Amino acid sequence: MAMSMELKDVTVKRRGKAILGPIDLNLGATGITMVIGPNGAGKTTLLKVLHGVERVSDGTIDWAQPADIARQGQAYVFQSPIMLRRTVRQNLAYPLQLVGVSKSEIETRVTAWAERIGLGDALDRPAPRISGGEKQKLALGRALIRDPDVLFLDEPCANLDGRSILDIEALLLEAHASGTRIIMTTHDLAQCRRLASEVVFLLNGRIHEQGDAMGFFANPKTVEAQSFLKGDILL
Partner 1 sequence: MNEIWAGILSAFRLIFALDADLVEITLRSLQVSLTALIIASLIALPFGTWIAIRRFRYRRATIATLNALMGLPPVVVGLIVYLLLSRSGPFGVLGLLFTPTAMIIAQVIIITPLIASITHQAMRDLWAEYHDLLISLNTTNRQRIITLIWDGRRALLTAALAGFGRAIGEVGAIMIVGGNIDHATRVLTTAIALETGKGDFELALGLGFVLIALALAVNFAIHALTKTEREGRW
Ligand X SMILES: Nc1ncnc2c1ncn2[C@@H]1O[C@H](COP(=O)(O)OP(=O)(O)OP(=O)(O)O)[C@@H](O)[C@H]1O
| Site for partner 1, rule CB under 8 A | 51, 53, 68, 71-72, 75-76, 78, 82, 84-87, 94-95, 98, 126, 128-129
User: Which of the ranges 38-46, 92-100, 167-175, 209-217 carries the binding residues for ligand X, by CB under 6 A?
Assistant: 38-46
Q: Can residue 45 be called a binding residue for ligand X (CB under 6 A)?
A: yes
Q: Is 178 exposed, middle or buried (0-12, 13-18, 19+ CB in 10 A)?
A: exposed
From residue 70 to residue 99, the character string flagging contacts with ligand X as x (rule: CB under 6 A) and all else as - is: ---------x--------------------
Q: How far is the CB of 99 from partner 1 (least distance, A)?
A: 9
Which amino acid is residue 158, in one-letter code?
A: A
Residue 143, helix vs strand vs coil:
helix
Rounded Cα distance, 43 and 49, in Å: 10
Q: Does 33 bind Mg ion (CB under 5 A)?
A: no
Dump the DSSP string for 149-216.
SEEEEESTTTT--HHHHHHHHHHHHHHHHTT-EEEEE-S-HHHHHHH-SEEEEEETTEEEEEEEHHHH
Cβ neighbors of 80 (< 8 A, separation 6 or more) are none
Which residues in the 82-121 window bind Mg ion by CB under 5 A? none
Q: Does 41 bind ligand X (CB under 6 A)?
A: yes
Identity of the residue, 128 or 215, whose beta carbon is nearer to partner 1 in the bound complex: 128
Binding site for ligand X (CB under 6 A): 14-15, 19, 37, 39-45, 79
Binding residues for Mg ion, rule: CB under 5 A, are 44, 79
